[in-house]
Amino acid sequence: MSHPARPPLILGSSSPYRRELLTRLRIPFDVAVPDIDETPLAGESPEATALRLSRRKAEAIAARHPDALVIGSDQVCTLDGAQLGKPGTHERALAQLQHMRGRTVTFHSALCLLDARTGAAQLADVQTLVTFRDLPDAELEAYLRLETPYDVAGSAKVEGLGIALLARVESDDPTALIGLPLIALIDMLRQAGFPLIGSVA
């Protein structure tokens, strides 16, 4: 149940990582899973892909919940201008990690807060630079077998053992790499007049 002063807040995501992050703000929210095509468009930049998909996810949920504030988020991992998606399999994950070792990868974590009542949307793209350690295949294989990170872009869960693969993380928003930039989201919620700290739950 939402406090009367608040519109319902809905996280449009199937990600357990985003759900856990949003829980940290101690505000009531529901979760709904958007059903959209996440294929990048031809010639689309990584930033544009992430922003478009974050908005499309929010719009898909807002269409079913016209009184809500809806959060959409999407993450795109890039190296040498090419997008690296969710690997899906052990073999693809190993190939990703081999390609990234010793190099710096850019993660675009896009965020959309859509007010379904008015159609007003706030958008942000938070970039994180991640430098991977130059590790041998045996360590990469061992990591993949221990954590099976086949559902995350870039094949490394920074919130888990994946931190052992990283030499450096540079970002203005420490939760962006996990998938939901909370500093940017708090800015958006405040702009939307959504009560945060000190409000009655």
Domains and CATH numbers, the chain: 9-191 (3.90.950.10)
Q: What is the pLDDT of residues 3-34, one digit of tens each?
A: 446 899 999 998 888 999 999 999 999 999 99
Cα–Cα distance measured from residue 30 to residue 102, given in angstroms and rounded to the nearest whole number: 40
Please give the single-letter amino acid code of residue 36.
I
Q: What is the pLDDT of residues 127-164, one digit of tens each?
A: 999 999 999 999 999 999 999 999 888 898 888 899 99
Collapsing DSSP to helix, strand or coil, 38 comes out as coil
- Does this model's pTM top 0.85? My answer is yes
Number of C-beta neighbours around residue 45 at 10 A: 15
Active site amino acids: 74
**Are 156 and 162 within 8 A, CB to CB?**
yes
